[in-house]
Structure 1
């Protein structure tokens, strides 16, 4: 076996370990698989044959063959099918994997067999899965970047999505959330005279009241439409009690939140019996929310920002103030990606100074809790290690509600202007991780302090030395076109370190028209001129637009995310079309597209095609009497 073949085997071995997939090399510890391999010779002699690796994950059998040379990835017959010739089976990765997969499907009890042909190395490779069953049927599946889709946590979802072609639980859940939001929005519109900003407050207020029902101080049954003590008053009292129970302090903060809910008490239309509903709209809303999302928020450890989803859906229908104020809510897969890039642990203190509905904090909470060693540490995380600031009172109220519903214990949120906060005082929070999606498109030459980069710089100044800072901003922020933005970029590098920038899918903020990117910094450490930063093109992230739903995860999303994280954390090399490592200047455009150039050596097929195209063009010109174009004095004749 050549040195290159050994290196490929070792690389696949590391991928399997990293993906937490149990495996056997050159055989199997499972008796029936081992017995079947005794007659699995690739040459059809009936002798023993061993694939590079076999893996049993739940009731799935994975068979892996690898080759060092990309040209030995797959050979096809004249009908473009995977060739069954003996030389193809012995010399090509996919052909060999399919051969072993079919043999094992026929001679073992495993009915879900996935053959995987892998060629190349960690920097440039092909990973091609093929689904096989005992009937000799096979289906080629999309090429992958890693093996993460096949571990115990992901393989059922992969099978459902890619092989059965059915919706997964998450897709159904996403569709259901949006459907619930649409139904509730229509009810709010038809049965209540409400401002756009009040609609999400109805949702968050009722959810707080429902939380109080666990302590027998509130019941939906008590919402009777009484004219003396209205349903709104009962809900308001329950909200007040739950804020006290959550230890929301100081008193002025609790009063500020309560004031946002005061309209519930005396809104006539909300508190009178509706002829169509046969109950007050408030009771209808409470019943609906209890049935649809309260249980999901209260009793599951999900990173989903349900109230934020409802808020975004309400604003999309009403054309509310969200975008006018620069408010663009961050999708769940991005908040979770932030947590992965930050590599959160149980000792981190997370700070979001533009927290909106608290999406980043909601994603960080379960991520940190899973690393906690005991209940005392979990309690400390909830009470002391999550901090946020939000300027808009209604958004602040929603964020506070969100955190209370997650059982954060204290809700360390402040309703204030982040840019007016003293950075040295904010450092006293001892935040080790900063996460932010700042207001967009608010800055100008007249208001340079509102540029996205100004928010980024202030956040960096507010973190402890060595803290990780991750922000999602428009790509235009990283180009720094204006004089003011260029100055901010220069100043950032004087005091902080840019680790890299990840260009995102243009549809990340679907329907908004923002081209976003994620920038990652280390706070308090001046940027070394010789430092190599990573610039990654992650536009192809495995998410697509689904009609009536928006951005949804496809079967390749987990695989592509794992590839991104592997490259970011230097677990593997990547082609420059995906990641460029380079030193930077403040005057550069901090984006992959600025630093990337195509350094791939053309393959022989591409060279032959280019020559063929040129000769075809020359022949066409000659036939049109324009052979002079190819003569030495052509330029003079054209003149």
Structure 2
């Protein structure tokens, strides 16, 4: 019978190449592994059996099996353990990869082995890694978006974080991140002479650009301080941001244009793009390197409801001589966001709306809770794509919120920059929100009107309104 996965095979191979992972197809150039595979038949006959791909990366081995249909990603037994029957090993990607990985771990000197099952295609796919030991043990690991975690530069950190469950050198507490924020605030003031409202936009924009590294759409080395129009550091960052928004399916075009307009200070600021004599590089490159080392890698791997960009925002405002309220900014602490989600008992099948979302703290807390309780990958994808909605009046806050959600792979980021109080109630109701989360960030003189408007506009099953003290 002809193999049904040629397109999936080619897509996986391309992804491995993009991540700089050297691999072998249908066997291995490593003698010990190749010898072991000569007795690795999935049918248990003791004859030859070859996985789709193998790769040796330092002390680690990764074994990949793929299937064309997402329905063939993984099969568990009724007891909730990985099915190791012949049919399951033959027909499912994760089960097949686990079979080969265990065989390699048991019959070669390599004891640090990852089995990776892949199904689907370029547009719709699932990638599930499993840690395998040389006995009968294994550890299911979170699904991943790409193979970048298994590159030579990242695999050690990935192993430490997800297999050993230990903090890595780049994993920090919120307290440490806030210390970094204080330092970055000083750098932004000293080298960029930025206005308070522009600082978080610079941070959010750079983080979006950094998120393109894993796709090959941006690199730190590309920031050279070139002063030719169209090739300046700010131009390169904006190109990466534009690509990141497209990759996240941010639309319609008017929304994308609004976000790009907010981040355009990266291009328009002469000071940010000029090579600084003290730094011997542009402030933009200096900020980008700082954010990559001190913040980005933490946010990238962090599975928490903490609103890191929001915390940055608050820290910037506090160092500017206030708590941000002069700019209409009142940031909700994480524990309050989590409490509100607990009070209304947010569930994976809910649709959540925050009419005044700020930096999206409530939505991030809700998303974290929903994803943790979700049963299937399809349900998780639906949560990110369709079940989180927010409105924000201030365009700079809207841009920070959108970046905050996109960095957490929320799909198309269902946020709108508009005045909720002026929305057509019927149009808002089309979102089908079952849970409302809101903090009183509205000036006192119109609070009563705003609350009445919420009641008139939406009929939530459950609603939590956090009112700040006066």
TM-score normalized by the length of structure 2: 0.61
Post-superposition CA distance 1:42-75 (Å, at most 9, x none): xxxxxxxxxxxxxxxxxxxxxxxxxxxxxxxxxx
1:246 touches 1:404 (CA, 8 Å); kept in 2? yes
| Aligned position for 2:444 | 443
Q: How is 1:12-51 mapped onto 2 (pairs within 5 angstroms)?
A: none
Match for residue 341 of structure 1?
Answer: 343
Aligned residues: 299
SS in 2 for 1:291: helix
Query: For the residues of structure 2 that align with 1:455 and 1:277, how far apart are their CA atoms?
Result: 49
C-alpha change, 1:276 and 1:395, in structure 2 (3 Å) is: same
Question: 1:426–1:198: structure 2 CA closer, same or farther, 3 Å change rule?
Answer: same
Q: Does 1:470 align with 2:464?
A: yes
Q: 1:311 to 1:176 in 2, by over 3 A?
A: same
SS in 1 for 2:211: helix
- Say which one has the larger Rg: 1
Asked whether the 8 Å contact 2:436–2:463 carries over to 1, the reply is yes
Q: Measure the CA separation in 2 of the matches of 1:462 and 1:298.
A: 36
Distance 1:385 1:289 in 2: 30
Q: Of the candidates 291, 294, 309, which is equivalent to residue 307 of structure 1?
A: 309
The structure showing larger relative contact order (alpha-carbon pairs under 8 Å, at least 6 residues apart) is 2
Deviation (angstroms), 1:266? 3.0
The secondary structure found in structure 2 opposite 1:248 is coil
The residue that corresponds to 1:181 in the other structure is 181
- Segments of structure 2 that go 5 or more residues without pairing to the other structure are 1-171
Preserved contact between residue 356 and residue 393 of structure 2 (Cα < 8 Å) = yes
1:460 to 440, 455, 460: 455
1:508-527 → structure 2 map (5 Å cutoff): 514-515=469-470
1:235 and 2:237 aligned: yes
CA distance in 2, matches of 1:256, 1:386: 20
Residues 351 and 387 in structure 2, CA contact (< 8 A), matched pair in contact too: yes
Aligned Cα RMSD in Å?
A: 1.8
Note the C-alpha offset of 1:321.
8.9
- Deviations for 1:314-339, whole angstroms, at most 9, x for unmatched residues? 11112479312432100000001011
What displacement does 1:230 show? Answer: 0.6
Instruction: Give CA-to-partner distance per residue, 1:564-587, whole Å, 9 cap, x none.
Output: xxxxxxxxxxxxxxxxxxxxxxxx
Shift of 1:297: 1.7
Q: Secondary structure at the match of 2:249?
A: coil
- Residues 341-374 of structure 1 show CA distances to partners (whole Å, capped at 9, x for unaligned) of 1111110000001000000001111100122111
Contact 1:356 1:390 in 2 (8 A): yes
For the residues of structure 1 that align with 2:456 and 2:270, how far apart are their CA atoms? 48
2:166 maps to what in 1?
none
SS of the residue 1:370 aligns to: helix
Question: Is the 2:428–2:458 Cα contact (8 Å) retained in structure 1?
Answer: yes
Which stretches in structure 1 are left out of the alignment for 5+ residues? 1-171, 445-449, 475-513, 516-639
Which residue of 2 is the match for residue 204 of structure 1?
204
Preserved CA contact (<8 Å) 1:430 1:464: no
Does structure 2 retain, via aligned residues, the 8 Å contact 1:352–1:387?
yes
Name 2:357's counterpart in structure 1.
355
Q: Is the 8 A contact 1:434 1:459 kept in 2?
A: no
The one-character-per-residue Cα deviations of 1:485-521 (angstroms, maximum 9, x if unpaired) are xxxxxxxxxxxxxxxxxxxxxxxxxxxxx35xxxxxx
CA distance in 1, matches of 2:374, 2:251: 26
Taking the aligned partners of 2:419 and 2:332, their CA distance within structure 1 comes to: 20
CA-to-partner distance for each residue in 1:113-157, whole Å, 9 max, x for gaps? xxxxxxxxxxxxxxxxxxxxxxxxxxxxxxxxxxxxxxxxxxxxx
Q: What does residue 298 of structure 2 align with?
A: 296
In the TM superposition, residue 226 of structure 1 has moved relative to its aligned partner by 0.5
Sort the Cα spacing of 1:194 and 1:300 in 2 relative to 1 into closer, same or farther, 3 A: same
1:423/1:458 contact within 8 Å kept: no
Q: CA deviation at 1:464?
A: 3.3
SS at match of 2:324: coil
How far residue 423 of structure 1 moved from its aligned partner, in angstroms, is: 2.1
CA shift digits 1:501-560 (9 cap, x unpaired): xxxxxxxxxxxxx35xxxxxxxxxxxxxxxxxxxxxxxxxxxxxxxxxxxxxxxxxxxxx
